[in-house]
Amino acid sequence: MRYYIVSKGDHKSNSIKENMEAQMEANNMIKDADEPEIVISVGGDGTLLEAFHQYCHRVNETAFVGVHTGHLGFYADWLPHEVDKLIEEIADGDYEVIQYPLIDIIVNYNDDKEPSHHIALNEATMKTEDNTTLVADVNLRGQHFERFRGDGLCISTPSGSTAYNKALGGALIHPSLRAIQLTEIASINNRVFRTVGSPIVMPEHHYCLITPVDQRVIMTSIDHVTTKHHNVESIEYRVAKQRVRFARFRPFPFWKRVHDSFISDGRDE
């Protein structure tokens, strides 16, 4: 088994990482930063997002698992005191792989620059560079849908629906559904300007094309990374062909994770 561990970088996460590496070596597992079959993140959900982006070029070959050193994460759902058991199960190869949808993002430019391709595990957002109102035409599956005015737009995956999307009033979507969700970030709605106002969920064969009107410098955030793009013509979002693979060593159903993260973790029940 070839593995790699990505740490958040703080003292606690680094020492868990070192301890795990020693145990994994003792179990004849090979540390391989280039072609790991399993990538373990130690930290929080943000660390798992980083690990995903570090290895998203090999999503078909690598499975992810997250250990949390802070509060329970959505992706990082193993506790530090459980890592011995986790290593044992990895050594036995005794795990199931579950797959969740991703978003494929293409930024098209109106100069000679080639379109840039990106992939998101949680969400992709689109805003202006100086927090002014984003004015953009929203096109769904080749048809003009609305002219949006507001702070920005957020397109999320089902597993990302519990992250930024949730704070925007989006729906929580079970990751077995291959879909993307478009959510407004503070739209302007009055007698003159109108948007639909509700989150929109699109199936895998649909796509969403957003064309800024008279604004060419656009800030995108893809998971934890924000980038400034010049001369943007449009940005296209669709359900990606690839899916992320998570190694599951025990059942932890999605709705149970939602319950434990947002309602109660059982300590006060």
Mark the binding-site residues, compressed into ranges. Answer: 45-46, 122-123, 149, 151, 186
Length of the chain: 269
How far lies 9's CA from each of 41, 66, 71, in Å? 11, 14, 16
Binding residues for NAD(+): 45-46, 122-123, 149, 151, 186
φ and ψ at 96, to 5 degrees? -105, 150
Q: How far is the CB of 165 from ligand NAD (least distance, A)?
A: 7
Where helices occur in 6-160 by DSSP H, the ranges are 11-26, 45-55, 83-92
The SS3 of residue 185 is: strand
DSSP class of residue 259? I
φ and ψ at 75, to 5 degrees? -95, -35
The first and second tokens of residue 106, run together, are: 């293409």
CB count in 10 Å sphere of residue 9: 12
* Closer Cβ to ligand NAD, 148 or 164, answer by number: 164
CB count in 10 Å sphere of residue 259: 13
Give the nearest residue (CB) to ligand NAD.
46
* Closer Cβ to ligand NAD, 101 or 160, answer by number: 160
Q: How far is the CB of 8 from ligand NAD (least distance, A)?
A: 9
Asked if residue 211 lies in contact with residue 139, where contact means CB atoms within 8 angstroms, the answer is yes
Q: What is the CA radius of gyration of the chain?
A: 20
Q: Which listed residue (32, 34, 45, 94) is catalytic? A: 45
Q: How far is the CB of 31 from ligand NAD (least distance, A)?
A: 25
Catalytic-residue membership of 104: no
- Token pair 């690990």: residue: 51
* Closer Cβ to ligand NAD, 63 or 163, answer by number: 163
Q: How far is the CB of 224 from ligand NAD (least distance, A)?
A: 4
* Closer Cβ to ligand NAD, 29 or 76, answer by number: 76
Mind spelling out the 3-state secondary structure of 56-108?
Answer: HHHCCCCEEEEEECCCCCCCEEECHHHHHHHHHHHHHCCCEEEEEEEEEEEEE
* Closer Cβ to ligand NAD, 123 or 151, answer by number: 123
For ligand NAD, the binding residues (CB under 6 A) are 44-46, 49, 73-74, 122-123, 159-160, 162-164, 167, 223-224
Asked if residue 45 lies in contact with residue 73, where contact means CB atoms within 8 angstroms, the answer is yes
The first and second tokens of residue 188, run together, are: 């302007």
Q: Which residues are catalytic?
A: 45
